[in-house]
Amino acid sequence: MARLSLEAQAEFLRVLPEGEIERLGGRRTIHVDVRIVAATNRNLEEMIAKKQFRADLHYRLNVFPITVPPLRERVEDIPALAWKFVETFSDRMGRRIDGISQNSMDALQQHSWPGNVRELRNTVGRAMISVEGTTLRIEAPARPTPRGTTLVSLAEAERVHVFAVLKSCDWKIRGRGGAAEILCIQPSTLESRVKKLNLTRQS
């Protein structure tokens, strides 16, 4: 629904109150008695604010909203879901699984699952392909690090960022266009931070 163009949304909006449609190329009005169930993984309020979704259509559809939280917010569901996927793949592959190792289950419940239930299903499926024996061991997906990114401490990240801002301002701290204004902190606070971080023009 959220992927419909604004023009298509307008057409759909005309159907809801009257329950009338016309076939493409047809001239006869057809009365329909249907119940609409709409689903989306997008934030419709944000789309409305950006003029990407019609507010009046949202009000028409938002009669009985049901919000399904992402998997990372309902980790208690992961064991049941994992076993459901194990049963599905067992039937397809003809393999018998009697248990999932506790370490594996702990790892699954600690993962953030950006891909939600589909990612969990694929993870279980990969483990089922290479399983030996009747106890399944599952490795949670690795958290990817952007290519070319080096992980540093928070203090070092702050030092690098503050130095970059100071350099871009030619070390001007106070006044309009100064580093303090860009960093949204008081000039005196920034001056103290510069001393604490031991920053100089040659840093």
Q: How much is the pLDDT for 159?
A: 84
Residue scoring higher pLDDT (93 or 22): 93
Q: What Rg do the C-alpha atoms of the chain give, in angstroms?
A: 27
Taking 70 as the threshold, does the pLDDT of residue 19 lie above it?
yes
142 lies in a domain?
no
Task: State what percent of residues in the chain have pLDDT above 70.
Answer: 94
Interval 46-78: pLDDT, tens: 889 988 899 998 888 888 888 888 898 999 999
43 lies in a domain?
yes
Interval 151-185: pLDDT, tens: 667 777 788 888 888 888 889 999 887 888 888 78
Interval 83-140: pLDDT, tens: 999 999 999 888 899 999 999 999 999 999 988 999 999 999 999 988 889 999 999 8
- Domain final position from 136, 168, 185: 136
145 lies in a domain?
no
Alpha-carbon dihedral 70, 141, 3, 54, rounded to 10 degrees? 30
80 and 125 in a single domain? The answer is: yes
Q: How much is the pLDDT for 96?
A: 92
Q: What is the CATH number of the domain that holds 99?
A: 1.10.8.60
Residue scoring higher pLDDT (76 or 150): 76
115 lies in a domain?
yes
Contact predicate 127/139, CB 8 Å? yes
Instruction: Give the residue among 95, 97, 101, 94 at the shortest CA–CA distance from 79.
Output: 101
15 lies in a domain?
yes
pLDDT level of residue 148 (50, 70, 90 thresholds): low
Taking 70 as the threshold, does the pLDDT of residue 1 lie above it?
no
165 and 185 in a single domain? The answer is: yes
39 and 78 in a single domain? The answer is: no
75 and 118 in a single domain? The answer is: yes
- Domain final position from 136, 162, 179: 136
102 lies in a domain?
yes
163 lies in a domain?
yes
Q: How much is the pLDDT for 151?
A: 63
Q: How much is the pLDDT for 84?
A: 96
75 and 55 in a single domain? The answer is: no
State how many domains the chain has.
Answer: 3
CA triplet 196, 199, 200: central angle to 5 degrees? Answer: 140
Instruction: Give the residue among 108, 177, 187 at the shortest CA–CA distance from 141.
Output: 108
- Domain final position from 37, 61, 85: 61
Taking 90 as the threshold, does the pLDDT of residue 202 lie above it?
no
Q: How much is the pLDDT for 24?
A: 76
Domain hosting 57: range is: 6-61
Average pLDDT for the chain: 86
182 lies in a domain?
yes
